[in-house]
Amino acid sequence: MHPDLQEIILSEEQIQRRVAELGRQITRDYQDRHLLTIGILRGAVIFLADLIRHLDLPVAVDFMAVSSYGQATASSGVVRILKDLDETVTGRHVLLVEDIIDTGLTLSYLVDNLRSRRPASLRICTLLDKPSRRKVEITPDYNGFTIPDRFVVGYGLDYAENYRQLPYIGVLKPEVYRR
């Protein structure tokens, strides 16, 4: 375990098992359709890469980069698109892949933005959901794990661009982010 962590809440094995389950469920739901997956940079990269390896259907990949946290530990609620899509979503089946849903503010903005582009369908897949922090009503169609309100890092999630490479998800010690 990394020395900056209090505890590991999701092991590498738990994560990989659940990602495979999500892949099977998404494959069933999108059978005979071409799927456009949109990963939200940077946090969702590892999750998306693992997830699409479990999809047994035609899949395209694109990315959006947004900013709502900066160096902070909580979303500001102000969302800026730093990188927009290269692919068009109009008339396509879209799966928005996110690392974590916290307040829901960023994701709600992205969903509204993507819906305005008229996809055939739009669903949300998240690795982690923290419903206790929700400020807007948004529910993922596919959810890896529901977690309590703790500051987590690893498997793509970061604090100040650190810890993304950890193969598990752990709770960051408060003294690390209060420095």
Q: Are strands 142-146 and 121-129 parallel, antiparallel or unpaired?
A: parallel
Which of these, 102, 148, 144, lies nearest to 125 by C-alpha position? 144
Catalytic residue from among 4, 102, 129, 158:
102
Which residue type is seen at 18? R
How far apart CA 51 and CA 37 sit, in angstroms, is 10
Helix, strand, or coil (residue 31): coil
Catalytic residue list contains 102: yes
Determine the 3-state secondary structure of 162 from DSSP. Answer: strand
Q: How many CA atoms lie within 13 A of 51 on its CB side?
A: 29
What are the catalytic residues? 102
